[in-house]
Amino acid sequence: MVFSYNDFMLFFFTFALILLAELADKSQLVILTIVMQKGHALKVAIGASLGLITMTIIGILLGAIISIFIPIFFIQIVGGIVFIALGCYGLLKKQQEEEIELETNKIEKYGILFFSFVSLFFMELGDKTQVLAISLVAMFYAPIPVLLGTITALTLLTFLAAFAGLIIAKKIPKKTLNLVSSVLFVLIGIIIIFLVFIPS
């Protein structure tokens, strides 16, 4: 399969959006917590990445199916609304720290890699990243670039969280990251809806 210029643009667009969506997300906090408590950063990163990737693939397949049965015009409008809603949610929600308690006996019983996989798999279920992946595939009907962009961003962030996420958290406040990503999501949603009504 040969990628076109549009495929590459969609790949980088998806990569950037997912990167913004996952910055300072609770999944990154879970990864940091597991590593700080148990070490084995590489195993945690691999397990968490596989969990996130698995849920992403499920989301991509769902998005591809949706695009077959629903008109593209409607999908683009809904996609724009999804972006705006996610941005507004990020701006309006209470910025409160979540206490993440890990059960040591479960980690030791099933293994750190498996525990990381299961934790991130279920945490990503219905998360904004999966919603974004579904929306992008349904809007552009290009599952491969969206899938690759999403997987690349999630894997990069997962390894950063496992090996260097602590440094990022110290330099950039979580509230600042949430504010910037939320505002960008609202703007992107408005642009998507605006472009739907512009004759091509």
pLDDT of 57 above 80: yes
Average pLDDT of the residues in 183-188: 77
Helical segments of 70-163, H only: 72-92, 104-110, 112-124, 128-140, 143-163
Sign of CA dihedral 183, 186, 189, 195: negative
Nearest to 91 by CA among 193, 171, 154, 175: 175
Q: Is the dihedral of CA 103, 105, 110, 113 positive or negative?
A: positive
Q: Which of 30-34, 50-54, 130-134, 154-158 has the lowest mean pLDDT?
A: 30-34
pLDDT (tens digit per residue) in 65-82: 766 677 767 766 877 787
Separation CA 176–CA 173 (nearest Å): 5
What's the number of domains the chain is made of? 1
Could you tell me the residue range of the domain that residue 97 belongs to?
Answer: 5-196
Q: Are 63 and 134 in contact (CB under 8 A)?
A: yes
Residue 154: is its pLDDT beyond 70? yes
Supply the pLDDT for residue 85: 83
What is the model's pLDDT at position 98?
A: 45
With cut-offs at 50, 70 and 90, classify the pLDDT of residue 101: very low
What percentage of residues in the chain have a pLDDT greater than 90? 4
